[in-house]
Chain A
Amino acid sequence: MSDAQSPTDFEPVEPNTGEDFEPVDVFPSSDDFDLRPGADSCFKCSVCDTNCPVAEVDDDFPGPKFQGPEQWRLKQSDDDYEIDDSVMSCSNCMRCDNACPSGVPLSQMHNTARGEYVSEQMSKTDLEYWRNRILSNYRLSASIASKVPRLASWSMNFGPARWLMEKTMGVTKERDFPEFATQTFREWWAERGGADASRRNAREARERMGIDKDAEKKVAYFHGCYSNYNTVDVAKAMVHIYEHYGYEVVAPEQKCSGTPMFANGMLKDARRHAEVNVSSMSDLVDQGYDAIASCTSCSMALRQEYPELFDIDGIEKVSSNTFEAVEYLRIHEDVKEDVQEANVTGELADEFAYHAPCHARNQGLERQSVELFRDLDGAGIEDVGESCSGISGTYGWKEEKYEKSMDIGEEMFDHMEHAEGEVGMTECPTCAMQMEHGTGYEIRHPLELLEAAIVE
C-alpha cells in the first residue's frame, strides 16, 4: 500500500470522501518536469503507433507508446530499470504528438528518456557517442567550413574521405554533404547595413502601403544554421518579404535551435544553445518583437521543446511569441489575397512537388504551402502525401540508419516521381536533402516562391 490514506468501507454509491479524507502526494517532489499526468492520460489506444514512420518499416522498434508512457511507468516501478536502447532508434519526428487524443506529451517523454539514456547509459568513449555529438553539433562544423566554403564543399564530398568517415565514424558515405554558401547570411546582412537598413526599408514600405511610418511592425529572425551557412537565399527571401510588408527585421545573436541535439539525446549541448537563444529572443520580445523562423524544426524547438525540456528564464515568453515565417504573415497580413493576385514569372514559374515536414505538422502547418500557393498564377504545387521523408535530421546520416531512412522515404520518392513537377519544395533543410537524394530534384523553400510572387 502507498502512504495515501485509505478511505474505509468504500461504498461507490455513497462514497465517504468527505472532510476526513486527505489525499497525500505519494511521489516525492522533484525539480524535473512531471511526466506523470501524461503517463496517466494514456489509455493505450495505440493510435500514436500508427503515426510512427520507424515502426512502419521496422518491427524491432517498439513504437512511441512504449517509448513514452509505458517506459515511464516501468521506470517508476523498478529502481534498476534502464532506458531501453531502442530509444535511439526514435527519429524524433514528433508525429506521435499530433496523434494522441489524450494530449500525452509523447515527444517530451522520448526526449527525456533519450537524454537520460545518453547521459547515464551511453559510454562517453564510444565512437557512436562522438559521432552523434559531432553530427548534432552541425553548427560548429558549419561555422568552420564556412570560413573556407569552396574547399569544405569539395573535401566533404571527396570519395576516399567519405569512405574513411563511414568506416571510422559511421557516417554514411551514400549521401552528399550540402554545399556551403560563399557568403553566409549574416555576412550578407552586415554588409547590407543590418537592422538600420532594414528599418529604412520597412519605413519605405509602410509609406508605399499607406500605413503609419512608425507602426510597431518588427520581428526578430531566427534563421538557424542552415539558411545562414547553406541556403542563404531562403534567409534573404524572408528579409525581403517581411520588409515588403513593412516589418523591421533584426537578426539577433543565436545558436543552434537544438533540434539535432534533442534527437541525439545531447540535452546539455542543447541547453547551452537554448540559453543563448532564449536570452536574446526574450529581450526582443520585451521590446515588442515576435520571433520568426524559416525552418519548421527551429520554430518547433523554440515553441514546444524548449518549454517542455528546459526551465530557463523567459522561455515561456519566447515560446508563445515564436512563429513560422509564412504562418505569421497569414495571421497579420492579407498574404492569401496578395498571392491570389500575383503572377510568378522567371526561374520560379514552375510546378512544385511539395512535402510537408513532420515538424510542421504539430504546428498545424502541414497544409499551409499547398493552400497558399494553389491559387497562384504561373506556378503549381502538389502535395506528395503524408509520409515522413525518413531522414529526420541526423538520423539518416548514420550508417546503421541509412537503409531504414531510405525505406521510410520510399513512399515520398514514389509520390514525387508521380507528381507533375520536377522541382521539390519543403520548409525543412534535411527533408530537402532527402528529397534531393532520392529523386535528384532541385528543392526550393516556400519563402523563395512567395518572394518571387509578391516582392517586385
Chain B
Amino acid sequence: MAIESDVLVIGGGLAGLTSALTAAREGAEVRLVSYKQSSLRHASGLVDILGYTHDGDGPVTDPYAAIGDLPELHPYQTVGAETVREAMGLFDDVTDYHGDHTETNALLPTHGGTVKPTARYPKGAAAGIASDDRDVLLVGIEAMTDFDAPHVAAHLDAAGVPFDVRGETIRFPGDLNADAKVTRYAKLLDTNGDVAVRGRKKGARDALAERVNTVHEGEARVGFPAILGDDHTDAVRAALEGKIGAEVFEVPMGPPSLPGLRLEDALFEALDEAGASFETGNPVVDYDADGDTIEQVYIEKNGAKIPNSADQYVLATGGLVGKGVESNRDAVYEPIFDCHIEHGADRYDWFDTDVFGDHPFAGFGVETDETLRPLTSSDAVQFDNLRAAGSVLGGYDFAAEKSGSGVSIATGYVAGENAAAEAR
C-alpha cells in the first residue's frame, strides 16, 4: 500500500504550487510534497516574466514580445508565449498582485537601490513604482542593516528616477534589540502591540508613524523595508498612511522575506481551496518504475521510506540553489530520478572565470519534450508519466534574465495541465 493521488507534485516552490493548483483545478486529486517549507520565503515577492534579453539587453518593455527571440531550448520557447499569458492569468486569479492591467513590465525599486523590471508586484509595493514622478521618502530602521535608506535613495537618484528621493534612518519605537527578526517587527505592527516610548506605552503603528512624521517633509510617498505586517499588511499600511498623510509602500527585501511569505500563504490557501493535499518536512529520495512508468516514489522520514503513488508525477524540485540539481566533482545530476543533465566532462568548463560572466552552470537542468517530459541523453522520453517544471529545467539563466518566476509559473501550469489530462 501507499499514500495515493492522481497527481503527485514534488516541490513546494512557485513551479510546484502552480502545477498542483492547475491540476487540482482541472479536477485531479493532487498531492504536493516538499522537502522543506516553500522556497518562496527566500523570494522578494516580485514576480517577473522577462526583464532582460538572453544577450543581456534591457530592461525589456514587453516580455511577451521578447519571448520569440529567446534561444530554441529556452523553457518559454517550449511552452510558447500564449501559454505564459494563460499561466499568468491563473496567478492573477489566486493573488491580489498588481501589474495585470498591462503586458509591459513595471519598474520597482529594490533594497539595493536599483530599479528592477517586473511583470507583477504585491499590492503593498505598488505605491513605490519607479515610473511615478511623485517624490519619495525612504525610511530605514537603524538596526536593519539590509536597508540603508540614504544609500538606497542615492542609488535610485543615480539611476535617474523621475522623482526626488530622500532617505532617513530612524529607530524603531520600543528600542527592539539589534537582531530582532523581521517577524518581530511584523507581529508588533500586525497586532498594533504596545511599545514603550519615553516610558509610555503606545501602539506600534502609532508610534512608528509619529517617528516618521518627525522626518517627513511632505513627500507624497513613503517607503519602508518590507516589514509592514504579515497577516494584516493592508491594515498596517492603511493605518500608517492615515497617520503620515502619504501613500505608504514596502521595498522588497532579501531573505527572509515577508512579501515572499505572504505569497506562499496565498498560494497554499488557494491550493487548499482547490481541494489538494500537501505536506512538507521530508525529502523524496527514491522511486520504483515499471519500464517507462513511475509506480511510486519514497519519502524518507528518519530512515523510514514512506511510499507515495500516483498516476502522474511532476518534478519541481528547483535548480542548483533549490537542490533539484546537484553536483559533485565529477558530474551534475538530478538526484531523484537521475534525469539527464547535459554538462561538460571537465568541471572547469562549467563556469566562466569572470564573476559576472556567462556561466554555463546557470543554464544546467533537464531538457524536455514539448509536454515537459524529461529527455534522456539520446533525446528519448525518460518516463511517460513524469514532467518537470521550474528551475530544475535547463536552457535559461533566470538570474541574468529576471525570468525565474515566469518560467516557474508557465512551466508549472503546463506540467499541471498535462498531468491532470493524462491522469486516470
Contacts and interface: CB of A to CB of B under 8 A. Distances in A.
B302 A304 contact: yes
Nearest to A387: B231
A100 B2 CA distance: 27
B214 interface: no
Interface residues of A, number: 49
B353 A49 contact: no
Given A47-B256, A101-B322, A331-B3, A56 B183 contact: yes
B65 interface: no
A216 B323 CA distance: 39
Interface in B168-191: 176-177, 179-184, 187, 191
Interface stretch (A219-227, A230-238, A362-370, A419-427): A362-370
Interface stretch (A268-276, A313-321, A342-350): A313-321
Contact of A362 (B256, B281, B306): B281
Interface in A190-215: none
A107 to B, nearest CB: 12
Interface stretch (A59-67, A145-153, A157-165, A393-401): A59-67
Nearest to A371: B277
Contacts of B306: 331
A40 B282 CA distance: 21
Contacts of A14: 348
Given A47-B255, A50-B261, A101-B36, A332 B1 contact: yes
Contacts of A316: 303
Interface in B126-169: none
Contacts of A319: 302-304
B301 interface: yes
A59 B180 contact: yes
B80 interface: no
B304 A323 contact: yes
Nearest to A332: B1
Given A50-B183, A57-B187, A333-B1, A361 B302 contact: no
Contacts of B277: 367, 371
Contacts of A12: 353
Contacts of B86: none
A417 B258 CA distance: 26
A98 to B, nearest CB: 5
B37 interface: yes
A363 B183 CA distance: 24
Interface string A43-79: 0011101111001111110110010000000000000
A189 to B, nearest CB: 26
Given A13-B353, A331-B306, A98 B187 contact: no
A321 B348 CA distance: 44
A330 interface: yes
A411 B230 CA distance: 12
Given A45-B256, A98-B281, A100-B36, A62 B179 contact: yes
B255 A51 contact: no
B177 A59 contact: yes
A50 B301 contact: no
Contacts of B281: 97-98, 361-364
A62 B191 CA distance: 21
Contacts of B366: none
A278 to B, nearest CB: 14
A50 B182 contact: yes
Contact of B323 (A56, A58, A101, A366): A101
B79 to A, nearest CB: 27
A428 to B, nearest CB: 16
Contacts of A371: 277
Interface string A99-143: 111000000000000000000000000000000000000000000
A409 interface: no
B377 interface: no
Interface in B317-355: 322-323, 348, 353
B1 A331 contact: yes
Given A59-B184, A98-B37, A331-B1, A13 B304 contact: no
A351 B301 CA distance: 32
Contacts of B2: 331
Contacts of A58: 184
A332 B307 CA distance: 10
A274 to B, nearest CB: 15
Nearest to A365: B279
Contacts of A322: 302, 304
B278 interface: yes
Contacts of A13: 348, 353
B42 interface: yes
Contacts of A49: 181-183, 256
A303 interface: yes
B41 interface: yes
Which of B176, B281, B282 gathers most chain A CB within 10 Å? B281
Contact of A363 (B39, B301, B323): B301
Interface string B292-313: 0000000101111011000000
A46 B180 CA distance: 12
Nearest to B186: A56
Contacts of A56: 181, 183-184, 187
Residue among A62, A63, A101, A371 having the largest count of chain B Cβ atoms under 10 Å: A101
Contacts of A367: 277-279
Nearest to B353: A13
A307 interface: yes
Nearest to A98: B281
B280 interface: yes
Given A101-B36, A101-B323, A371-B277, A66 B179 contact: yes
B299 A55 contact: no
A330 B1 CA distance: 9
A368 B280 CA distance: 11
A99 B255 contact: no
Contacts of A334: 1
A12 to B, nearest CB: 8
B304 A321 contact: yes
A368 B177 CA distance: 38
B302 A307 contact: yes
Contacts of B261: 50
A303 B281 CA distance: 13
A64 B255 CA distance: 15
Contacts of A307: 302-303
A424 B42 CA distance: 33
A210 to B, nearest CB: 16
Interface in B29-87: 33, 36-37, 39, 41-42
B179 A101 contact: no
Given A47-B256, A367-B279, A368-B279, 18 more contacts: A13-B353, A14-B348, A50-B261, A52-B181, A55-B180, A56-B181, A57-B187, A101-B322, A304-B302, A316-B303, A320-B303, A331-B2, A331-B3, A331-B306, A363-B301, A364-B279, A364-B299, A364-B301
24 contacts: A45-B256, A47-B256, A49-B181, A50-B256, A50-B261, A55-B180, A55-B183, A55-B184, A59-B180, A60-B177, A63-B179, A63-B181, A66-B179, A99-B37, A101-B39, A304-B302, A331-B1, A361-B280, A363-B281, A363-B282, A364-B299, A365-B279, A366-B280, A411-B231
Interface of B: 1-3, 33, 36-37, 39, 41-42, 176-177, 179-184, 187, 191, 231, 255-256, 261, 277-282, 299, 301-304, 306-307, 322-323, 348, 353
